[in-house]
Structure 1
Amino acid sequence: MENKTLTIIIERAENNYSAFIEGLGGIVASGRSVDEIKMNMVGAIDAFIEECKELGCEVPEELQGDYELCFKMDVKSLLDFYSGIFSKAGLERITGINQKQLWHYASGNRNPRPEQSVKLEKALHKLGEELLSISL
């Protein structure tokens, strides 16, 4: 049997970030960092499964057996989350997306076209790979 992948959607909330499982209601988590959200989501899933067992409810099929968690963030939330790390000028240099567009995406005034989201994602992944290849 193949591992299932559960997509966890992370969104900006009022004072932190919240997360939920795409297509599966009832399990939410929050946190101030991605690591905290990941840890809290694992705890929320474990608590949900335990509660199902205690109450004699059926555990949803998605949570039976092995599964992987894939975390996904919308562009607005990502730009907000990393605003203290990435400047719009720096993002423009690595993505080729002009700063004015990035400001629109960050403010939520405009959602990026899917191609722009992919362009941003690829540029950030490339930067991450470059950083991982460096030793100090």
Structure 2
Amino acid sequence: MKTVKAFIERGSDGTYGVYIDLEDNTLNYGIHGEGKSAKEALEDFKASYQQMKAFYNELGKKFVEAEFNYYYDLPSFLSYYSNILSLAGLERLTGINQGQLSHYATGYRKPSKKTVEKIEQKLHKFAEDIQQIAFI
């Protein structure tokens, strides 16, 4: 099974899209997903994958199976995980003000590359810490 990058991004119209890396020629097909939320777009993307698989099967063509590594823009990440990670929690984790995070989530403001890297590093460190947890 091949591993392919898929990008989740918020569009200027407020909708979300998921698409595969157009520079990657691993797959012999293209798929994408759309939705009013990151979650909806991701579900549509996964449905498109299954539909394409069925279509290739119908035609008797070889279908390249794939796993996807998802890459989020910051508004899409904040939208997708908003029911798990509050802005208050993210502020405590990253040191970035809730108001600023809210502006990033809504697309009102765009974070600098340095800010995106800071958030990503803090989230990865938090994930490492969580991974160490063991209950007795």
TM-score scaled by length of structure 1 = 0.66
Residues 1-136 of structure 1: pairs in structure 2 closer than 5 A: 6-12=4-10, 18-23=17-22, 26-29=30-33, 32=39, 36=43, 39-40=46-47, 43=50, 46=53, 50=56, 54=59, 69-136=68-135
Secondary structure in structure 1 of the residue aligned to 2:31 = strand
C-alpha displacement of 1:122: 1.1
- RMSD over aligned Cα, in angstroms? 3.6
Q: Distance in 2 between matches of 1:35 and 1:10?
A: 8
C-alpha displacement of 1:11: 3.1
Deviations for 1:38-89, whole angstroms, at most 9, x for unmatched residues? Answer: 85465366457x37xx498xx9xxx97x976321011001111111222222
Q: Distance in 2 between matches of 1:30 and 1:115?
A: 28
Gaps spanning 5+ residues in structure 1: where? none
Q: Distance in 2 between matches of 1:116 and 1:99?
A: 14
Gaps spanning 5+ residues in structure 2: where? 24-28
Residue-pair matches, total: 125
